[in-house]
Structure 1
Amino acid sequence: MSKQTNSNVLVLHTVAEVRTWRQTQQEQNKSVGYVATMGALHAGHLNLVDAAAEQCDSVIVSIFVNPAQFAPHEDLDRYPRTLPDDISKLAAATLPPGTTRTVFAPSVAEMYPRGITTDRAQQRGTFVEVLGLSEMLEGGTRPHFFRGVATVVAKLFHIIMPDHAFFGQKDVQQCCVLRAMVQDLHFPLKLHVVPTVRDPEDGLALSSRNVYLSPEQRLRAPSFYRGLCRARDLFDDGIVSRENLIAAVEEEAAAGALDIEYISLSNPEDLSELESVGSSGAVLSGAWRMGTTRLIDNILLGFNF
């Protein structure tokens, strides 16, 4: 049924294998925590695994580069695929005694039996859309993205049937979209948002795409986070206006010569743009490019998930 690639990691490749595994977990009365990834695992992913292991008996990590969330001009073909290394990192992770660790690494054909193309106009089959939230922020420049994310995560939730699912705050809009999907489609699970893991030296959010940065780009990339921190300091001092908070980010980004795509101050419930931070708090976020690499980051002001 499966391949034991490492002594303590069970690797599954088909839906049928996962369903058999899930039935065993249920029969043994084990709670299941789930972490969705596209592989190229780093400390941020492993932090999600740690969070899952703290609350659940079994942890399952999906490793799948999802074509449906890429456009034809994006980096699907060059996205890092490092399955053996990923499995080794999961095997080496220090988890509570008795925690079982499983990887679901399906093929594209397994996840999309009717086929899939990155050309949305040519796609056929069943897809999931979270209207309203998906069009905001990242959806402005990547209109295909959250349709692909919601579709594949809905499939994975249905296949794995986790009790708990863990996602990173770095992808804050994704967290908002998936939270709404879980509510709207009545998935019987609890979704957890785990704080962003950052480089301890300069605060750059860990991302699989950081490997694309040249040494010179890597030095400049943390400028955006420095701007976010300046804005958070202003907020802590009572400054709540959009103009002042975004200006703080813009100044630091300009100092780092970042090619800014957008900076947003948005409502955490519907992601609509705010003129000031109110009692519900706000998400201060943005995206920028360094050469052909696109990065995102955010902080939360006045609220937590």
Structure 2
Amino acid sequence: MPIFYTQKELQLHLKNIDNQRLSIGFVPTMGALHKGHLSLMEQSLKENKITILSIFVNPTQFNNPEDLKKYPRTLENDVKLVEQLNKNIIIYAPSVEDIYEGNTISTKFNYDGLENQMEGKHRPGHFDGVGTIVKKLFEITNPTNAYFGEKDFQQLQIVKKLVSKYKIPVTIIGCPIHRETNGLAMSSRNERLSSEARNEAKIIYKILLEAKTKFKNLSANKVTQFVEKEFKKYPNFNLEYFEIADEDTLLTCKRKVNNKKYRGFIAVFIENVRLIDNISLK
């Protein structure tokens, strides 16, 4: 299975593919792969002749140094998982030096306000880091299609805006959230939880489902109050935010409008691990 550690090596390999004008699917990840990541690769394999997977823990999108330090790094196991799925997937696993070339800072981006909502409020500079790495990776891999999970729905919308504003010739494809059997959204951060906390964290999705049901008849404000009240029943959780927002603008819903798509967004701490999730409120 082809694995490349530098962009120079990868691009030399891709030159031949470019000459053949084969479609390239790209799945950017930070590693610690799980079934959610594998589903993105499976979709790319179906829709493209070539699939590239990047594995890179991007320092510029972490506003908490401790979170960066503790983020799971499991490259050897990740490679085995990819190999089991399909030996033809190209892996790009660069170093920080290869990506940033001694200048590990973010570019400033304007996403027309999308960056100021939810995660942007609570993680200053996060989406500058996301835009920086995604733009760099697109320039390195030059993909036809790129695949992102809807668990990071705000990130998905921001990447779409980045591509639109910078006229990057790639189609962004959002893929459904994959969940563990208890409903917890699959995330690399789940690996940091004890088995007890991982089981208890099923309450996040349970409350989101209840919020979806209540949103049919109640205002956004009433549903938000319900979620906040529910989490007070669970002392092991610290609810950072729950917001109902317009899917397109990500602006908080003040009053429901017909024909608009709304989504509930949540961030919760358990055992000092920050988990995010969201749900369509259609």
Establish whether TM, by shorter chain, passes 0.5. Answer: yes
Shift of 1:249: 2.9
1:177 aligns with 2:155: no
1:132 aligns with 2:113: yes
Structure 1: how far apart are the matches of 2:111 and 2:66?
A: 22
1:79 aligns with 2:59: no
1:195 aligns with 2:195: no
Are 1:227 and 1:248, in contact at CA under 8 Å, matched by a contact in 2?
A: no
Match of 2:122 in 1: 141
Match of 1:265 in 2: 244
Match of 1:39 in 2: 31
Match of 1:275 in 2: 254
1:207 aligns with 2:187: yes
Shift of 1:74: 3.4
Paired residues in the alignment total 280
Structure 1: how far apart are the matches of 2:66 and 2:158?
A: 21
State the TM-score, normalizing by the size of structure 2: 0.93
Deviations 1:151-197 (A, max 9, x none): 00000011101000000000011001111101111111110110100
Structure 1: how far apart are the matches of 2:155 and 2:161?
A: 10
Shift of 1:213: 1.2
Structure 1: how far apart are the matches of 2:66 and 2:116?
A: 18
Are 2:183 and 2:205, in contact at CA under 8 Å, matched by a contact in 1?
A: yes
Match of 1:241 in 2: 219
Are 2:111 and 2:158, in contact at CA under 8 Å, matched by a contact in 1?
A: yes
Structure 2: how far apart are the matches of 1:136 and 1:59?
A: 32
Deviations 1:46-88 (A, max 9, x none): 0111111111111100000001011254311221111111111
Structure 2: how far apart are the matches of 1:268 and 1:250?
A: 21
Shift of 1:240: 5.2
Are 1:223 and 1:252, in contact at CA under 8 Å, matched by a contact in 2?
A: no
Closer, same or farther: CA 26–141 of 1 in aligned 2, 3 Å:
same
State the TM-score, normalizing by the size of structure 1: 0.87
Structure 2: how far apart are the matches of 1:30 and 1:192?
A: 18
Closer, same or farther: CA 127–14 of 1 in aligned 2, 3 Å:
farther
- Structure 2: 5+ residue stretches without partners: none
**Does the residue aligned with 2:77 lie in a helix, a strand or coil?**
helix
Q: Which is helix-richer, 1 or 2?
A: 2
Are 1:240 and 1:277, in contact at CA under 8 Å, matched by a contact in 2?
A: no
